């Protein structure tokens, strides 16, 4: 399998600083239809106010149009006021392309087959045909964003660990230890995705709204629901409003 990479791996920015009106969008997973509807809903909701759109990762895999989602987000970023954080599925896809072997098997077993189909690739041995600009974009995505009252991350944070020392694997993969931690474990309200369903979140179609964290992953690829949290950087706590983008069957 050919390598797409001839340059040093880019270092992601440690933090993206956010101000003003912020729309945080949960895990998309190849659902371009829901994502474009979400952008339209946000534009109407903002009603001319300057807003920053923040996506919490997992743009690829599982759903039908990973390629379309990445194309859409790359173009949206060029227009400004859009930040895309890295998710564990972006990490898996990059590692599959770079390394093959067990990394490829892990990715294919976690929705990578659907992603390949969206690129018109029918065999994993043809991964070299994936657009290198897409792989480079995913590789360079930042891990963390923050405003004066909140931290935004894909999966969560390790309790008690300073923000600057949070490992990449934690930011992209953590679940139980983070989800079960109490409010005192984190320096600010945490906004995240990654976990549409667990013991403390019985309904994957609804966000998890707690005093110390907000979980916006509503399993878009199988529930047909994409959730957007509305935040203002001058107001602490969870979202002031939640926008639900849904395709009714």
Chunk the chain into consecutive blocks of 10 residues (it has 249) and report each block's average pLDDT, rounded to whole numbers: 39 76 98 98 97 98 98 95 98 93 94 95 79 95 97 97 92 98 94 97 98 98 98 97 91
**Residue 68 token pair:** 């379309």
Residue 82 has what pLDDT? 98
- Superfamily of chain region 17-246: Metallo-dependent phosphatases (3.60.21.10)
**Helix 66-78 with 32-46: angle, nearest 10 deg:** 30
**Residue 20 token pair:** 């003003």
For residue 90, give the nearest of 102, 101, 79, 98 by alpha carbon. Answer: 98
Residues 6+ apart with CB under 8 A from 32: 64, 65, 68, 69, 72
Strand 213-215 and strand 189-192: the pairing is parallel
CB 22 within 8 A of CB 232: yes
Q: Which residue carries 């009106």 as its tokens?
A: 21
- Largest separation between any pair of C-alpha atoms in the chain: 50
Q: Which residue carries 């300057």 as its tokens?
A: 50
119 CB neighbour count, 10 Å cutoff? 17
Residue 14 has what pLDDT? 66
Domain ranges for the chain, please list them: 17-246
88 CB neighbour count, 10 Å cutoff? 20
Strand 208-209 and strand 213-215: the pairing is antiparallel
Residue 47 has what DSSP assignment? T
């Amino acid at each position: 399998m050919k390598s797409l990479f001839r340059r040093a791996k880019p270092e992601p920015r440690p933090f993206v600083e956010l101000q003003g009106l912020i729309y945080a969008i949960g895990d998309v997973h190849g659902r371009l239809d829901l994502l474009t509807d979400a952008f339209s809903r946000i534009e109407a909701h903002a009603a001319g106010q300057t807003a920053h759109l923040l996506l919490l990762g997992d743009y690829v895999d599982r759903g039908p149009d990973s390629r379309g989602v990445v194309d859409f987000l790359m173009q949206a970023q060029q227009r400004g006021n859009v930040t895309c954080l890295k998710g564990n599925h972006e990490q898996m896809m990059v590692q599959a392309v770079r390394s093959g072997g067990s990394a490829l098997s892990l990715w294919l077993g976690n929705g990578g087959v659907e992603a390949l189909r969206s690129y018109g690739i029918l065999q994993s041995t043809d991964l070299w045909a994936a657009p290198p600009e897409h792989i480079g974009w995913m590789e360079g995505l930042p891990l963390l964003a923050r405003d004066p009252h909140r931290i935004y991350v894909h999966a969560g944070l390790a309790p008690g660990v300073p923000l600057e020392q949070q490992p990449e694997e934690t930011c992209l993969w953590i679940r139980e230890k983070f989800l079960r931690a109490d409010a005192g474990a984190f320096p600010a309200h945490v906004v995240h995705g990654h976990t549409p369903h667990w013991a403390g979140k019985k309904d994957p179609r609804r966000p998890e709204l707690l005093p110390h964290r907000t979980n916006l992953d509503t399993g878009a690829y199988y529930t047909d629901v994409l959730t957007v949290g509305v935040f203002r950087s001058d107001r602490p706590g969870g979202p002031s409003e939640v926008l639900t983008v849904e395709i009714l069957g």
